[in-house]
């Protein structure tokens, strides 16, 4: 049996694997990834918990957030720069403030900027709704069937989480949650995932982190978790790949990979 995805640019970067008859069909060989990733993929057999980021992984909200920062910065007479927006993606409010002040200067009114962005996003979500990312429902159902714990580990505040999940037709249904209200250090520090693992009583090495942002990948790797990146608005670089066990195009591919590794449908 063969499941291949072409490794390429941006969102075309995926995993590629093949089973071979000469090995009895039980050995999985990977191509285009290093030995660290091969060992990491095999370690998915020991996963006891999955830690989800929200924006860009569960909810298709990142393009609106990016547009919101562009609008907010323009409103205060500044131009958005992609390098800055990448640095804040996945980060909590204190980390975002730090990055913005470093780049635009201490005179920037970050709280006003943040409120302008939030007002834009809320209006867009009310007008157009929020879509769940493909495969979230299917992956969640499979994890429940397998008895694998599910944690939410997001830089978004709990108030926003509980407002936006229902807008996407999703229930707030996790075994534990860590939000932007809790950790002192946001991503790329590992705190959010370490706390998520602690709340689930699962060692970090038995947790799988699902992330779309460089900050999130860095945080999951620093926490000692296994990481799968599902690129959304930022492509997977070689440096990020080295900190993941796989790069998948969607949560549907994550589910397929987990099923193949764990040997059950």
Beta carbons of 42 and 261 less than 8 angstroms apart: yes
- Catalytic residue status for 109: no
Please measure the distance between the N-terminal and C-terminal CA atoms of the chain and give it in whole angstroms: 15
209: how many CB neighbours lie within 10 A of its CB? Answer: 31
Q: What is the DSSP string of 107-155?
A: T--HHHHHHHHHHHHHHHHHHH--PBPTTHHHHHHHHHHHT-EEEEE-S
249: how many CB neighbours lie within 10 A of its CB? Answer: 17
Q: Mark 58-78 as b/e (b = at least 16 C-beta within 10 Å).
A: bbbbbebbbebbebbbeeeeb
Among all chains, which residue has been given the structure tokens 């038995």?
Answer: 206
Catalytic residue among 53, 175, 232, 253: 53
Look at the alpha carbons of 176, 198, 95, 240 in this order and tell me if their dihedral is positive or negative: negative
Catalytic residue among 55, 175, 191, 232: 55
- Catalytic residue status for 55: yes
> Hey, which residues are catalytic here?
53, 55
């Amino acid at each position: 049996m063969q499941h291949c995805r072409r490794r390429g640019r941006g969102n075309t970067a995926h995993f590629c694997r093949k089973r071979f008859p000469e090995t009895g069909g039980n050995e999985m060989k990977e191509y285009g990834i290093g030995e660290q990733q091969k060992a990491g993929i095999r370690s998915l057999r020991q996963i006891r918990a999955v830690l989800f980021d929200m924006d860009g992984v569960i909810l298709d909200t990142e393009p609106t957030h990016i547009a919101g920062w562009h609008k907010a910065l323009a409103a205060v007479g500044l131009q958005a720069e992609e390098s800055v927006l990448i640095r804040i993606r996945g980060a909590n409010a204190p980390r975002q403030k730090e990055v913005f002040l470093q780049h635009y200067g201490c005179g920037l009114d970050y709280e006003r900027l943040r409120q302008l962005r939030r007002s834009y996003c809320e209006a867009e979500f009310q007008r157009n709704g929020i879509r769940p990312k493909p495969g979230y429902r299917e992956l969640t159902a499979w994890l429940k069937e397998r008895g694998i714990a599910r944690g939410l580990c997001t830089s978004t505040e709990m108030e926003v989480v509980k407002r936006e999940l229902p807008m996407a037709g999703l229930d707030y249904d996790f075994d534990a949650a860590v939000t932007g209200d809790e950790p002192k250090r946001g991503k790329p520090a590992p705190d959010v995932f370490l706390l998520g693992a602690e709340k689930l009583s699962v060692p970090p090495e038995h947790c799988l982190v699902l992330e779309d942002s460089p900050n999130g990948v860095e945080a999951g790797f620093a926490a000692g978790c296994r990481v799968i990146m599902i690129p959304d608005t930022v492509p997977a670089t070689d440096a990020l790949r080295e900190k993941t066990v796989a790069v998948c195009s969607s949560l549907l591919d994550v589910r397929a990979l987990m099923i193949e590794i764990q040997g059950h449908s």
